[in-house]
Amino acid sequence: MQLISLFVHPLKSTRGIATTRAYAGKLGLLHDREWLIASPDGKQITARTHPHLLRLKVELLPGGILLHYPDKSPIFAMTTVYTQAHPAQV
């Protein structure tokens, strides 16, 4: 069997990024589901309840991710800003 393509999802429940190779470490594929959208009370927000999340394109950049949504200005989420863990239900 040969792997032809693979998708990583840096932000859980959003559009994936196609790749033909990925690094697998102890915690899984590098950049796969490293980010999560949660409500202030820690409940995960997913495409199951918010299907418009599937229109959100995520681009990996040094130091964070760039979020693109149709007809909106891009948002850069920096890893240095989000340094404290916040409890979330996954």
Higher pLDDT, 29 or 82: 29
Domain total of the chain:
1
- CB burial of 16-51 (b: ≥16 within 10 Å; e: otherwise) equals ebeeeebeeeeeebebbbbbebeeeeeeeeebeeee
Residue 86 pLDDT exceeds 90: no
Please check whether residue 90 lies inside any domain of the structure: no
Residue 72, both tokens: 């909106």
Please check whether residue 1 lies inside any domain of the structure: no
Please check whether residue 71 lies inside any domain of the structure: yes
Q: Whole domain around residue 28: which residue ranges? A: 6-78
Q: pTM score, two decimals?
A: 0.81
Give the pLDDT of residue 61: 95
Residue 46 pLDDT exceeds 90: yes
